[in-house]
């Protein structure tokens, strides 16, 4: 099977469990169980893509355990630990107008309008789920107002416009905050 054309990270293999090749999986999907809906999983190890099929899984107090088809040995399973799990972008569900996947927002430039001019606050480095709302983690760059890291809530009255085509998010946010 060929490598994925547009891989999107949906989780990570974080450790082994037992002696029969089971692995601990950290899902970055919402809800967490959605990671099991995507097939196949892909990992890239030493520059080479490998397709993985989940043949058994179970949820435990500490998270998700998976057994991968053809992986029946703890030592083999260790070789794929600390690897991101990717899926083909086309596997992701279509979103409603105005909704975006986190991976689409990461790396976008963030601008605010301040004192009558457009000011760069930096780029989206990460996103956080706080329960109440998601939060953009924006890090300053050499081209931004300053080098500060800002946490900007991803809510309607703050996010003015998301322009994926131009890699830009416009916000209504005081840069001193």
Q: What is the CATH number of the domain that holds 55?
A: 2.40.30.60
Q: Of the residues 89, 112, 143, which one is the last residue of a structural domain?
A: 89
Taking only the tens place, the pLDDT of each residue in 52-81 is: 999 999 999 888 999 999 999 999 999 999
C-beta pairs of 30-37 under 8 Å, 24+ apart in sequence:
30/129, 32/64, 33/59, 34/10, 35/10, 35/11, 35/64, 35/85, 36/64
Q: Answer yes or no: do 113 and 71 share one domain.
A: no
| Of the residues 65, 89, 113, the one at which a domain ends | 89
Per residue in 77-93, pLDDT tens? Answer: 999 999 999 999 998 88
Cα 85 versus chain centre, distance: 10
User: Does a structural domain hold residue 67?
Assistant: yes
Separation CA 16–CA 23 (nearest Å): 4
- pTM for the model stands at 0.76
Question: What's the domain count of the chain?
Answer: 2
- Residue 131: domain span: 102-171
Beta bridge partners of 122: 110
Both 114 and 164 in one domain: the answer is yes
CA neighbor of 84 nearest in space, from 22, 13, 28, 8: 13
């Amino acid at each position: 099977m060929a490598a994925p054309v547009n891989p999107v990270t949906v989780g990570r293999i974080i450790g082994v469990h037992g002696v029969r090749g089971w692995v601990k999986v950290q899902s970055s999907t919402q809800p967490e169980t959605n990671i099991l809906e995507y097939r196949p999983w892909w990992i890239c190890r030493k520059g080479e893509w490998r397709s993985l099929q989940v043949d058994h899984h179970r949820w435990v107090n500490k998270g998700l355990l998976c057994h991968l088809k053809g992986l029946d040995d703890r030592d083999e399973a260790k070789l794929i630990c600390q690897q991101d799990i990717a899926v083909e972008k086309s596997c992701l569900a279509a979103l409603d107008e105005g909704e975006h996947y986190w991976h689409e927002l990461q790396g976008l430039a963030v601008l605010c309008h301040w004192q009558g001019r457009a000011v760069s606050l930096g780029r989206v480095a990460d996103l956080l789920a706080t329960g109440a709302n998601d939060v953009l983690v924006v890090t300053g760059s050499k081209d931004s107002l300053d080098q500060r890291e800002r946490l900007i809530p991803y809510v309607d009255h703050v996010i003015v416009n998301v322009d994926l085509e131009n890699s830009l998010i416009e916000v209504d946010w005081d840069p001193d905050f």
